[in-house]
Amino acid sequence: MSGGVQTPTELAAAKAGAARKPRLEASAGLRDADWGKATSGMRRDQLFRRSLFAADLVAFGLALITLSLLESRSLRLTWVGFGGVLAILIGGKVAGLYDRDASLLHKTTLDEAPQLLHVATLGALCAWLAGGLLVAGGALTRAEVLLLWVLLLVFLVFSRWAARNLALAIAPPERCLFVGDRQAAKMIRSKLEGNHGTKAEVVADIDLGDHSAWAAWSADACSAARVGEIRDLARSLDVQRAIIAPDRVEPERMLDLVCTLEAVGVKVSVLPRLLEVVGSSIEFDDLHGVTVMGIKGFVLSRSSATAKRAFDLVGATLGLLALAPVLVGIAIAIKLDSRGPVFFRQRRVGRHGEHFGLFKFRTMVQGADAMKDSLRDRNEAQEGLFKIADDPRVTRVGRLLRKTSLDELPQLFNVVLGEMSLVGPRPLVVDEDCHVTGWYRRRLELMPGMTGPWQILGPARVPLREMGAIDYLYAANWSLWGDVKILLRTVRHVLARRGL
């Protein structure tokens, strides 16, 4: 289907094995009886909505049961209390907590944690103000209300995470139609493959490389005939979502296409080229009906930099104290396994291009750098990076440390020394850094991090140029909560033994 413009009629005919005439009697609405029933896409969305609603009910129940066990007294919801919980969940429905997943390809629980904090706060506040009216067994004390608030937040996040994973496991892949050029189609396919939290596949694509052919096809995109053709295409291929990269489409025709797709029950995701560059680093401004996007600045303000540094110092210090026995045990294992020092200090490029020594547990034999040139033909990374999955220079203990990412722990010393941050751009070695040019070098305005948005994707799979764009977006969108989310996702990746 790629390689030239194909109309929905041609695509549907190829699927059915025979050509047919467009149905001119079709209308923009969903008139047919079978479209009154739930389509596969609608059933998929219902699965996520109902799973999340059930998860929230379970979370409230588990929080109250756990509170009863911890406080050693019988606490249970009254009928009024159960109605109050339902009222809170209905409020969550109004706020979009159950409909958000239908609009998203990548479904994640961490991004909605601030909204779940509001739900937990409202639930705990209602339990406190209502006294024994909501909870049988006596009014809650201040300490019990605070504990209930924490339990509600924990169980809401955990139950929603579990419900989404279960729904993703049960639901079939979301079938997508891509409308855009070949390069964008290739990029989207690669992003969808093996992406945790995403279960979708591109089943067909329309190449917009030929602008004249596209213009001829889309001139009457919202006519009755075109709606009928696209509706038949959606039925024949069971398309549930369209992903559009509209860099060659005029705004008016783009709107026609979106309206047409939505009219036949197909969800629409748009990949505008501007947002590929600035990502979510924008603030929408309304000038009397005209939407203007304000681009956030790249450099952190003084207060933001101070908050980030304080967070790093507290986190690194607590981490070193908590992990001290683990660090000592790893050091002993390294000395017993092979000759050489416990730590390996590698020259890296840090903030403003200054070089520093990055601490790591030694995972290779001595003289590993001298062996690098002889192994370049086995390099699996791209664009100047060097990474081998089964590196022969790695020791037995080193292989275990790398698999669990424990070799990265000594970088906590770099954080305390002010050479690194807990979260930030990856510090590159000198021969890798020389491949970073142009505006991508603005990544050096930030302190390099132990982990970051690029690292949790897996550096062997992300090209160096894309890494620069990801680091830029991280800086433009920086927030303390964003750093916390990256750290939590790093823990998940380490536990899953995906490595950094």
Average pLDDT, the chain: 76
Res 139: pLDDT:
75
How far is the C-alpha of 41 from the C-alpha of 399, rounded, in Å?
44
Residues 458 and 498: beta-carbon distance below 8 Å: yes
- Mean pLDDT for the stretch of residues 424-435: 84
Confidence label for 36 from pLDDT (cuts 50, 70 and 90): very low
* Angle of the 251-263 helix axis to the 211-218 helix axis, nearest 10: 50
Res 137: pLDDT:
66
Asked if pLDDT for residue 423 goes beyond 90, the answer is yes
* Angle of the 480-495 helix axis to the 302-337 helix axis, nearest 10: 20
Res 10: pLDDT:
47
What pTM was computed for the model? 0.66
Confidence label for 13 from pLDDT (cuts 50, 70 and 90): very low
Strands 290-295 and 355-361, how do they pair?
unpaired
Percentage with pLDDT > 90 across the chain: 19
Collapsing DSSP states into helix, strand and coil, what is residue 388?
A: coil
- 4-37 as b/e: b if 16+ CB within 10 A: ebbbbbbbbbebeeeeeebeeebebeeeeeebee
